[in-house]
A and B are shown apart, each in its own frame.
Chain A
Amino acid sequence: MELFVNPALLLLATARDVLPVLGLLVFFQLVVLRRPLPRPGRILFGFVLVLVGMTCFLGGLDLALFPIGRTMALQLAQGAQAGGEVAWTAYGWIYLFAFLVGFSTTIAEPSLIAVAHKAHEASRKAVAPWGLRVAVAVGVAVGITLGTFRIVTGTPLYLYIMAGYAVVIVQTVFAPRMMIPLAYDSGGVTTSTVTVPLVAALGLGLASNVPGRSPVMDGFGLIAFASVFPIISVLGYAQLAQWIAERRSRRRSPSSARP
């Protein structure tokens, strides 16, 4: 609520964060490369929009998305307890919520849309944007579901992440080589402006509500899950696509010898 009282302070704080980027770009353009700014008025206007946009965005997050994530996790966890069971299976609704939140936020992720577009273009249309996005979204959904399972059971984070890395390493050996960098990248791309705040709030809310969990030890780590599992799902998607393509070409020319 204090945001409404003091929006100027928030604007000032945002300016401090955006200024370095603009300063760096302008510095390199004017001082290092010694070129004039193309259309300085337009660029200044864009900068003001970024500033105002970030202020609204951060203020809105504090008002809406963070409390929603926390309230949801709290209500879902309380509901599970009210059912009388304390076993981890009682948290079914939480897992469903985590899966749907992971999937829906990733499908909507602007930076993933940008990367899928770029991959489509760079691969000379071999990589389908929609297929990539769905593969990544499934990976994030599975990852976040596993992450909430971890918070509920209280098992250590690094075990899951290391197991995930081990799978990635094994897949790297067998997956088609040209898809590996894109798959690695999709791990970092998934967690963006919308996903991160909601998922972080879900994790912290769940950890402060499930008995025996501390927000510090258990609340974080969901985003890490969302970064590892898309790599696995995209590599898997690439392997599946390759396998189908091979089967098809084998069927088409049954007389040719297998490599």
Chain B
Amino acid sequence: MLKSFGGALGRALLGALRDLAPIILVIALFQVLILRQPFPNLLSVLGGLGLVIVGLAFFVVGLDIGLFPLGEALAEEFAAKGSLFLLLLFAFALGAGTTVAEPALIAVTREGAEAVAEAGLIENLPASIERYAFGVRLTVALSVGAAIVLGVFRILRGWPLPVLIIGGYVLVMIMTLFAPQEIVGLAYDSGGVTTSTVTVPLVTALGVGLARTIRGRDPLTDGFGLIALASLTPMVFVMLFGLIVH
């Protein structure tokens, strides 16, 4: 087990390095060719990059040997048991649970709360910034949970996705007119942020797996679409959060 773990970690480290190489290349290129200035704090930047690569590799291996097998075992047992209520409950928990832990969401809500505080909409104190960021994060998590429930229900019923998505877009457009301007950008961004490395593979596997087990559903046409819904609802809910808080 230790040997296979070492191999997996090595591959994950290489993968993380490969994933980040183009970005490092672009930044190095710009620094050397165009800006022609030395990096400020080069040492801490390099150390930080090393931490990001190691962290990403650990994260991926940890998901692979810990959370993914547990999640997959659960999905199979739900399909075997055939209880709609339990499946929808699980869908909500999966959406909300993975989103709360999302590193990208944590980063963006923190930056967003700082920006909102600088504008004077909330008190510029670490405690109130923290509270605001957590409020947005919780809102996003709940809306993603609701989206996955709706999406799973759609797969079961075979509803056409475009109707749901375009209806959602129209709702976003209407909400944009009423929500405080300061939160519109953050709301739009949190739509894209929610669905990242933890959520996407778990949720995609859930959708495609369900579409494959249910008769009359196509994995490609019906299995996809959960992510799209999960990117849409946070925009609506965060704007609603802004309307209520401000």
**Residues of chain A whose beta carbon lies under 8 Å from any beta carbon of chain B:** 1, 17-18, 20-22, 24-26, 28-29, 32-33, 35, 37-39, 42-68, 71-72, 75-76, 79, 93, 97, 100-101, 104-105, 107-111, 114-115, 118-119, 121-123, 126-127, 157-158, 161-162, 165, 168-169, 172, 177-178, 180-182, 184-185, 187-194, 196-198, 200-201, 204, 214-224, 226-227
B45 contacts the other chain (Cβ, under 8 Å)? yes
A215 to B114, CA, bound (A): 10
Chain B positions 201 through 216: 1 when the CB is less than 8 Å from some CB of chain A, otherwise 0 = 1001100100100000
User: B52's contact among A35, A60, A105, A180, by CB below 8 Å, is which?
Assistant: A60
Docked-complex contact B103 and A101, CB < 8 angstroms: no
Extra contacts, 8 of them, besides A39-B69, A65-B49, A122-B224 (Cβ < 8 A), are A50-B59, A54-B59, A67-B48, A104-B25, A127-B220, A187-B227, A188-B194, A188-B200
Docked-complex contact A32 and B55, CB < 8 angstroms: no
Q: Beyond A21-B67, A204-B111, is A217–B182 a contact (Cβ under 8 Å)?
A: yes
Docked-complex contact B200 and A111, CB < 8 angstroms: yes
Chain B hits for A58, CB < 8 A: 55, 103, 106-107
B165 contacts the other chain (Cβ, under 8 Å)? yes
B14 contacts the other chain (Cβ, under 8 Å)? no
Q: Beyond A33-B77, A65-B52, is A49–B70 a contact (Cβ under 8 Å)?
A: no
Chain A hits for B57, CB < 8 A: 53
Chain B hits for A66, CB < 8 A: 107
Docked-complex contact B20 and A215, CB < 8 angstroms: no
User: A50's contact among B63, B108, B184, B204, by CB below 8 Å, is which?
Assistant: B63
Chain B hits for A59, CB < 8 A: 48, 51, 55
Chain A hits for B25, CB < 8 A: 104
Chain A hits for B41, CB < 8 A: 67
Q: Across the A-B interface, give the 3 residue pairs with the lowest CB-CB distance, nearest first.
A: A46-B66, A63-B48, A64-B48
Chain B interface residue number, banded: 35 or more
CB distance from A171 to the nearest CB of B (A): 10
Contacts A/B (CB < 8 Å), 24 sampled:
A20-B97, A29-B74, A46-B63, A46-B64, A47-B67, A53-B57, A53-B61, A54-B59, A62-B48, A68-B27, A72-B30, A100-B26, A108-B18, A108-B19, A110-B60, A111-B201, A119-B220, A178-B221, A187-B228, A187-B231, A192-B196, A197-B108, A200-B108, A223-B188
Chain B hits for A22, CB < 8 A: 66-67
Chain B positions 157 through 170: 1 when the CB is less than 8 Å from some CB of chain A, otherwise 0 = 00001100110010
B32 contacts the other chain (Cβ, under 8 Å)? no
Chain A hits for B69, CB < 8 A: 38-39, 42-43
Docked-complex contact B56 and A193, CB < 8 angstroms: yes
Chain B positions 170 through 207: 1 when the CB is less than 8 Å from some CB of chain A, otherwise 0 = 00110010000110111011011111111111001100
List the count of A-B residue pairs having beta carbons below 8 Å apart.
363
Interface SS of B by simple majority: helix
A60 to B52, CA, bound (A): 5
CB distance from B118 to the nearest CB of A (A): 7
B104 contacts the other chain (Cβ, under 8 Å)? yes
Chain A hits for B23, CB < 8 A: 101, 104-105, 108, 194, 198
CB distance from A101 to the nearest CB of B (A): 6
Chain B positions 135 through 175: 1 when the CB is less than 8 Å from some CB of chain A, otherwise 0 = 00000000000000000000000000110011001001100
A221 to B235, CA, bound (A): 11
**Residues of chain B whose beta carbon lies under 8 Å from any beta carbon of chain A:** 1, 15, 18-23, 25-27, 30-31, 34-35, 37, 39-41, 44-67, 69-71, 73-74, 77-78, 81, 86, 89-90, 93-94, 97-98, 100-101, 103-104, 106-108, 111-112, 115-116, 118-119, 121, 161-162, 165-166, 169, 172-173, 176, 181-182, 184-186, 188-189, 191-201, 204-205, 208, 211, 218-228, 230-231
Docked-complex contact B59 and A188, CB < 8 angstroms: no
A226 to B219, CA, bound (A): 26
Docked-complex contact A192 and B197, CB < 8 angstroms: yes
CB distance from B111 to the nearest CB of A (A): 6
A224 to B40, CA, bound (A): 30
Q: Beyond A45-B66, A60-B51, A216-B119, is A18–B192 a contact (Cβ under 8 Å)?
A: no
A201 to B81, CA, bound (A): 46
Chain B hits for A177, CB < 8 A: 221
Chain A hits for B52, CB < 8 A: 56-57, 60-61, 64-65
User: A114's contact among B78, B200, B221, by CB below 8 Å, is which?
Assistant: B200
Docked-complex contact A224 and B19, CB < 8 angstroms: no
Chain A hits for B63, CB < 8 A: 46, 50
A20 to B97, CA, bound (A): 6
Docked-complex contact A184 and B228, CB < 8 angstroms: yes
